[in-house]
Structure 1
Amino acid sequence: MHLLLPLLASVLFVCGLIFVKRVSRSAARPDGVGQVTLLFCVNMGSSALMSLLWLFDGPETYWLNFWQPAIVALLFMMGLLLTFTAVEVGDVSIATPVFGVKVVFVTCLLAFSSANGVPSSIWGAAILAATGIALIQWTGQHHPRRIGLTIALALGAACCYATFDLLVQRWSPDWGSTRFLPAVFVIVAALSLLALPWIRWRPVVSNNNWKLLVPAIILLACQAFCITIAVSVFGDAARLNVVYSLRGLWGVLLAYTAARIWGGDEADLSGKLLLMRLSGAGLLTLAVALAVLA
């Protein structure tokens, strides 16, 4: 049942990125919201949601180890910044499946850092997921100038979040989930305040961008809450991330649907290209089934 959390997070993540993509179209303009404003708002929303965990009982925290949530907070912010940049540069249907490489990174990190290693079935699921992601990317040649940069940024985000998950799984038991995660996001909020001089508040209100920004904040904050809680409480990072990699499937389907409704590059995909991307996403689904059945 705990795998339902990353499943929900995978849907929320893609829906949030669709709104981010629409907001980021105006990011480069002088009157646009801007990446800094977007990053600040999402960080504060996630921090506010995570702070609710303070209301629950937890073990005594050892603040001498405050460097642990500080490292995790930096990884979260770097991953989110790379994610937003990848979505602004390229298509959601390209960037989102590449984020799924995170499942391979997590599996490798767990294998190298654990005495027991990772079950072979999880390795198989991770490789199958990576194959599906590769299939999606090898067919995405309609933007050759941007696809390389999009993939590089998405891989950087996946690496940050994979390390984030590994450290959350390792350090949360000593702190307790209701203490470690709020400590992480208190630091995230504090670091975000440093960006206040560069935040553009006027475009958020004057151009009605808040109608897109508010759903993006809520969706991304809720998905961060779901996946982080799942890793912290249950610790099954490898299998959780295989299920979470389903966002590659939703990234193709929902991005295409949204582009058909509101406009976007994904709406121009040929039937053959869309079918190939869906085939790659189907391999991701098989990887999830293998991980769950294992």
Structure 2
Amino acid sequence: MHLLLPLLASLLFVCGLLFVKRVSQSSVRPEGVDQITLLFFVNLGTSGLMGLLYLFDGVLFESSAPTSSINWSLIWQPLIVAVLFMLGLIFTFTAVEVGDVSIATPVFGVKVVFVTCILALSSSDGIPPAIWGAALLASMGIALIQWTGQHHPKRIGVTIALALTAATCYATFDTLVQRWSPAWGSTRFLPAVFAMVAALTLLALPWVRWKRIPTRGNWKLMLPAVVLLALQAFCITLAVSVFGDAARLNVVYSLRGLWGVLLAYTAARIWGGSEADLTSKLLVMRLSGAGLLTLAVALAVLS
């Protein structure tokens, strides 16, 4: 049943990115909200939601709660995790702003291969052969997605590079959350992490463009983006912290690659966007690439 959390998060993530794409500054919407402003509100929304967990300290998830008081000499642990979260979100937003959602989202699915590799490298058993097979399948999927966009090779190459960097940050984030949460307890570690995320976010306050937010109903797009992305971060991070099953949880979460292609195409047909101009052949090729990524992540976990 705990796999329902990442399944819900995968849908919320793609829906949130669609709103981010529409509200962000671009050549289509020069009056849109800039990336720093979006990051500011998404981070504060996520931090506020995570902070609510502290109200249930000692009540929820008692099995993961520490038996002794917290050693504050370990305060560097939530700080490192907070920085990784910030970097992951920055690279995610940049990838979506630069390229198409249907390109960036499937590449984010490689995160599960990275998570499995990190866990394997840190164990005495090394990396199983199946992991290398999963990495090969993932590489083929990325290449297939990239080849579908040769009409904009530079933009697609940058989009994939940014998405891979975001996946690396989040893979390390999940691994560290799984390993460090038990010593703190989920209702303490996660609020500590996101309190630091909020503190780091406040440093960007001078660069928030408040005047652009109410422009042409930007709030109608920005509010759903903030709520959806905050909820998806809450679901996947809580699942990893409480249940620890980072590899399998990320397999289910990687389904966002399929949702990204399908929902981005549907949304572009309704509201407009570059995904709406895809031919049937290009759409099938992107779906095929997303399918290979899904096979890769499934193989990584089944191993």
TM-score grouping bracket, smaller chain normalisation: over 0.9
Q: 1:27 to 1:2 in 2, by over 3 A?
A: farther
User: What does residue range 112-123 of structure 1 map to in structure 2 within 5 Å?
Assistant: 112-117=121-126
Q: Which residue of 1 aligns with 2:220?
A: 211
Q: Which residue of 2 aligns with 1:202?
A: 211
Q: C-alpha separation between the residues in 2 aligned to 1:233 and 1:115? A: 24
Q: C-alpha separation between the residues in 2 aligned to 1:291 and 1:240? A: 12
Distance apart, 1:28 and its partner CA? 10
**Quick check: 1:249–1:284 contact (8 Å CA) kept in 2?**
no
**Quick check: 1:100–1:130 contact (8 Å CA) kept in 2?**
no
Unaligned runs of 5+ in 2: 59-64
CA RMSD of aligned residues (A): 2.2
**Quick check: 2:106–2:293 contact (8 Å CA) kept in 1?**
no
Q: Does 1:144 align with 2:173?
A: no
Aligned mate of 2:74, from 55, 61, 65: 65
Q: Which residue of 1 aligns with 2:33?
A: 33
**Quick check: 1:33–1:201 contact (8 Å CA) kept in 2?**
no
Distance apart, 1:117 and its partner CA? 4.9
**Quick check: 2:116–2:300 contact (8 Å CA) kept in 1?**
no
Q: C-alpha separation between the residues in 2 aligned to 1:273 and 1:151? A: 17
Q: Which residue of 2 aligns with 1:104?
A: 113
The residue type equivalent to 2:16 in the other structure is G
Distance apart, 1:103 and its partner CA? 1.4
Distance apart, 1:46 and its partner CA? 0.4
**Quick check: 1:100–1:158 contact (8 Å CA) kept in 2?**
yes
Q: C-alpha separation between the residues in 2 aligned to 1:234 and 1:120? A: 26
Q: Does 1:256 align with 2:265?
A: yes
Aligned mate of 2:246, from 233, 237, 243: 237
Deviations 1:161-216 (A, max 9, x none): 11101111110110111110110000000111111111111211133111100000
Q: 1:243 to 1:132 in 2, by over 3 A?
A: farther
After TM superposition, the score normalised by the length of structure 2 is 0.89
Distance apart, 1:105 and its partner CA? 1.2
After TM superposition, the structure 1 stretch with the greater mean CA deviation from structure 2, 19-28 or 147-156, is: 19-28
User: What does residue range 1-294 of structure 1 map to in structure 2 within 5 Å?
Assistant: 1-26=1-26, 31-56=31-56, 57=58, 58-59=65-66, 60-117=69-126, 127-287=136-296
Percent identity over the alignment is: 78
Q: C-alpha separation between the residues in 2 aligned to 1:62 and 1:119? A: 36
Q: C-alpha separation between the residues in 1 aligned to 2:55 and 2:27? A: 37
Distance apart, 1:238 and its partner CA? 1.5
Q: C-alpha separation between the residues in 2 aligned to 1:184 and 1:74? A: 9
**Quick check: 1:14–1:251 contact (8 Å CA) kept in 2?**
yes
Unaligned runs of 5+ in 1: none
The residue type equivalent to 2:170 in the other structure is Y
The residue type equivalent to 2:93 in the other structure is F
Q: 1:121 to 1:29 in 2, by over 3 A?
A: closer
Distance apart, 1:281 and its partner CA? 2.3
